[in-house]
Structure 1
Amino acid sequence: MNAPNRYELYVLEEGEKPVEIIEDTKIPNAATIKVLKQDHTLGNLIRAQLLSMPQILFAGYKVPHPLQPHFLIKIQTDGTITPTAVLEQACTKLIGTMASLEAKFKREFSFKDIDGAVQEDAYGTTTTAGGQAWAEGRDYLDF
């Protein structure tokens, strides 16, 4: 079939650069960035982070073809900062946000049951610390 091997979608080949920056000659303070071996997940995160920054006039991304594992980001700034520098700042902020989210996730799921305390699960069912809400044979999809 036409589909490439799965490993080709995320493994960089020898000598392949993960990011390629192409300065735009027609639009001032603009550039197109090609990011290899990534998809909509990272493209949308970077675009959203860029749009939250005050120096950005335009930020958008596209995946040219579903069988080609790369996306293009188009960035235009107001001239106070280069597109390359603002992309680096956006990625740094995203890394910080993801680290914060990971820490919050780990903290929430590291709490231990306290003996005798009343716990409440995600569906509002109260249980004692020793009991399990799912012990009655219920599935997590049961309401």
Structure 2
Amino acid sequence: MNAPNRYELYVLDEGEKSVEVTEDTKIPNAATIKIVKQDHTLGNMLRAQLLAMPQILFAGYKVPHPLQPYFLIKIQTDGSITPTALLEQACQKLIATLASLEAKFKREFTFRDTDGAQEGPYGAGSNVDNGWTGGRDYLDF
């Protein structure tokens, strides 16, 4: 089989850098950044976070080959900030957003634990006999 071992997709080799920046010589205020041992999940979140920032002119990513565990993200700014500094800001905002989401998720499930209701396999107050009719379901967050 051609696929590498699963641990090779996420564990950095000795001396391997996780981020490599290549300044673009043909496009002003642009850079191509190679992020190693990551996939579409991080690439898409970073791209979306970058596009929400006012200094960005272009942000896109690609995974050149599905068997190679890295992606390339291309960033072009308006010149008021460098692409690497903007990527760092986007990472910090993304970390803060994910921390907020984690806190909300934990808070919701601590409320669910204190309800005292018997939960069936489909959420609080449900059982096989009445299906979706009684209690709350997973959409009632």
Q: TM-score, normalised by structure 2?
A: 0.83
For residues 75-114 of structure 1, the C-alpha deviation after alignment (integer angstroms, 9 at most, x for no partner) is 0000000000000000000000000000000000001115
Unpaired segments of 5 or more residues in structure 1?
none
Structure with bigger gyration radius: 1
Q: Does 1:68 align with 2:68?
A: yes
State the secondary structure of the residue aligned to 1:50: helix
Q: How far is 1:136 from its partner?
A: 5.1
Unpaired segments of 5 or more residues in structure 2?
none
| Residue pairs, 1:1-143, within 5 angstroms | 1-111=1-111, 112-113=114-115, 132-134=125-127
Q: In 1, Cα distance between the equivalents of 2:16 and 2:82?
A: 24
Structure 1 residues 3 and 81, CA gap change in structure 2 (3 angstroms) = same
State the secondary structure of the residue aligned to 1:110: helix
Q: In 2, Cα distance between the equivalents of 1:7 and 1:97?
A: 27
Q: TM-score, normalised by structure 1?
A: 0.82
State the secondary structure of the residue aligned to 1:20: strand
Between Structure 1 and Structure 2, the one with more helix by share is: 2
Q: Which amino acid aligns with 1:71?
A: F
Q: How far is 1:133 from its partner?
A: 2.1
Q: In 2, Cα distance between the equivalents of 1:136 and 1:35?
A: 51
Q: RMSD over aligned Cα, in angstroms?
A: 2.6
